[in-house]
């Protein structure tokens, strides 16, 4: 009995960790999702477009209905014309001025007087024209950030689970974990806030220092302004005035490159940069030489770097290893969870997951 119970728990654990959505269309134009080594059919008729994240895909079926598939069940959302947007975890959709959302199987109306809105991993930020308020949904709770005296507008600085906004007194504030923190006021030009997950950074015009906000605290990372900076998941990367590339993580700074990278980028768990025409990445706490050329295009998401290889196909850095997925030229590619999806010209697909390639 103990063995049976252990086997059941192991199977449940594996199936729950593998759960996710990788939406594809096959050569018959059937809409499908890849999961646990199999391509499962979602729709037998053509669809009119879809938007997908790591845990869900929302789509318009052949009759114009909005539907959602979360890797387990298909759910009808509405049969009315909608403006819909998804993140890895949330769906927001607007029918006229009514803004609704889906979160882990739960449907809810956010406002009957909605206008603009944005959907991030853990946030839905929206305007309510009835009371002229800026609002945010987070963790099953809606918070009014500000009642605006004048024209409403969505903040330009929004991360996956935090955002920066200004109140009527021109005071910059941070929303994070359901709490609001004051930054200060500034009457000069706009401040460039770079926001990731649980961390943000900016050049503070009042102290003239380079500052990070994390765990409810402001930290002076450098005593002077930085030339360029970006935020990832729990860390920031920045370029100093001499062109050196640095990382700040867990209260420590580490130099990534002193060769003035020609370009660099940050997303989620990865930093990538070009150094003397070589492509490097920082993944799993180590510097990795990814390629001896600079790719023409690439994607960063989670802990994956997918890029156009030297043959014009698709390769990827996954779990610290460089994997060649295909050498078919001009193939499109996307990242879902811990997997890379490659769409070939003949409407067949390759999914690279856990070191294996799957095709349909």
Q: Are 66 and 49 in contact (CB under 8 A)?
A: no
Tell me how far apart the alpha carbons of residues 273 and 257 are, in angstroms, rounded to a whole number.
Answer: 9
CATH class of the domain at 19-79 = mainly beta
Supply the CATH classification number for the domain 82-187: 2.40.128
Give the single-character DSSP code of 244.
-
Nearest to 279 by CA among 265, 295, 297: 295
Average pLDDT over residues 67-78: 95
Q: Are 166 and 186 in contact (CB under 8 A)?
A: no
Give the single-character DSSP code of 197.
B
Give the single-character DSSP code of 233.
B
Q: Are 124 and 106 in contact (CB under 8 A)?
A: no
More confident residue, 46 or 303: 303
pLDDT at 86 over 70: yes
Q: What angle do CA 334, 239, 235 make, to 5 degrees?
A: 60
Report the DSSP beta bridge partners of residue 157.
164
As given in the structure block, the two tokens for residue 141 are 């709770």
Q: For residue range 246-289, list pLDDT tens digits in order.
A: 999 999 999 999 988 989 999 999 999 999 899 999 999 999 99
Average pLDDT over residues 4-26: 54
The dihedral region occupied by 192, where left means phi > 0, alpha psi between -120 and 50, and beta the remainder, is: beta
User: What per-residue confidence (pLDDT) applies to 360?
Assistant: 86
More confident residue, 323 or 346: 323
Q: For residue range 120-132, list pLDDT tens digits in order.
A: 999 999 999 999 9
Q: Where in the chain is the domain with CATH 2.40.10?
A: 19-79
Q: Where in the chain is the domain with CATH 2.40.128?
A: 82-187
Task: Report how far Cα 349 is from the mean position of its chain's Cα atoms.
Answer: 23
As given in the structure block, the two tokens for residue 44 are 């037998």
CB atoms < 10 A from the CB of 334, how many?
16
Q: For residue range 291-331, list pLDDT tens digits in order.
A: 999 999 999 999 999 999 999 999 999 999 999 999 999 99
User: What per-residue confidence (pLDDT) applies to 123?
Assistant: 98
Q: What's the mean pLDDT when you consider all of the chain?
A: 92
User: What per-residue confidence (pLDDT) applies to 6?
Assistant: 35
SS3 content of the chain, % helix, strand, coil (to 5): 5, 55, 40
% of the chain with per-residue pLDDT over 70: 95
Residue that is written with structure tokens 């349909």 in the block = 360
Report the DSSP beta bridge partners of residue 230.
237
Q: For residue range 171-184, list pLDDT tens digits in order.
A: 999 999 999 999 99
Average pLDDT over residues 330-342: 96
Q: For residue range 246-258, list pLDDT tens digits in order.
A: 999 999 999 999 9
Instruction: List, in order, residues 6 or more apart from 80 with CB less than 8 Å away.
Output: 66, 95
pTM of the model: 0.90
Burial of 103 (0-12, 13-18, 19+ CB in 10 A): middle
Q: Are 87 and 121 in contact (CB under 8 A)?
A: yes
User: What per-residue confidence (pLDDT) applies to 19?
Assistant: 59
DSSP class per residue in 105-156 = TEEEEEESSEEEEEE-SS-EEEEETTTTEEEEEETTEEEEEEE-SS-----S
Q: For residue range 177-227, list pLDDT tens digits in order.
A: 999 999 999 888 889 999 999 999 999 999 999 999 999 999 999 999 999
H or E element at residue 14: helix 2-18
Residue that is written with structure tokens 């900016």 in the block = 202
User: What per-residue confidence (pLDDT) applies to 12?
Assistant: 36
% of the chain with per-residue pLDDT over 90: 83
Length of the chain: 360
Q: Are 115 and 97 in contact (CB under 8 A)?
A: yes
Residue that is written with structure tokens 């080594």 in the block = 37
Nearest to 234 by CA among 208, 261, 274, 269: 269
Nearest to 54 by CA among 39, 69, 38, 73: 69
3-class SS string, 292-305: CCCCCCEEEECCEE
Average pLDDT over residues 2-22: 46
Tell me how far apart the alpha carbons of residues 170 and 185 are, in angstroms, rounded to a whole number.
Answer: 6
Nearest to 56 by CA among 13, 22, 79: 22
């Amino acid at each position: 009995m103990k063995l049976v119970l252990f086997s059941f728990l192991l199977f449940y654990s594996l199936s729950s960790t593998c759960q996710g959505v990788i939406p594809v269309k096959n050569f018959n134009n059937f809409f499908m999702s890849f999961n646990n080594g199999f391509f499962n059919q979602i729709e037998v008729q053509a669809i009119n477009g879809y938007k997908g994240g790591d845990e869900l895909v929302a789509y318009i079926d052949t009759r114009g209905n909005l539907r959602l598939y979360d890797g387990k069940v298909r759910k009808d959302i509405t049969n009315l014309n909608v403006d819909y947007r998804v993140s890895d975890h949330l769906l927001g959709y607007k029918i006229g001025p009514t803004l609704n959302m889906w979160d882990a199987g739960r449907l809810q109306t956010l406002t009957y007087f909605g206008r603009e809105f944005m959907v991030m991993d853990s946030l839905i930020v929206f305007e309510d024209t009835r009371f002229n308020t800026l609002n945010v949904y987070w963790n099953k709770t809606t918070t009014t950030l500000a009642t605006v005296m004048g024209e409403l507008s969505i903040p330009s600085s929004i991360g996956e689970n935090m955002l920066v906004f200004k109140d009527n007194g021109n005071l910059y504030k941070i929303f994070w974990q359901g709490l609001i923190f004051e930054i200060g006021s500034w009457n000069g030009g706009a401040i460039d806030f770079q926001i990731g997950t649980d961390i943000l950074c900016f050049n503070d015009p009042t102290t003239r220092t380079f500052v990070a906000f994390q765990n409810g605290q402001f930290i002076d990372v450098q005593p002077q302004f930085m030339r360029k900076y970006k935020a990832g998941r729990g860390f920031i990367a920045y370029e100093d005035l001499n062109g050196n590339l640095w990382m700040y993580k867990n209260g420590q700074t580490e130099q990534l490159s002193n060769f003035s990278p020609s370009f660099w980028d940050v997303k989620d768990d990865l930093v990538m940069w070009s150094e003397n025409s070589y492509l490097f990445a920082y993944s799993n706490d180590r510097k990795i030489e990814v390629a001896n050329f600079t790719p023409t295009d690439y994607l960063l998401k989670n802990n994956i770097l997918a890029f156009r290889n030297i043959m014009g196909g698709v390769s990827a850095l996954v779990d610290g290893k460089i994997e060649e997925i295909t050498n078919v030229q001009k193939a499109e590619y996307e990242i879902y969870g811990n997997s890379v999806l490659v769409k070939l010209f003949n409407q067949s697909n390759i999914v690279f997951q856990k070191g294996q390639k799957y095709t349909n």
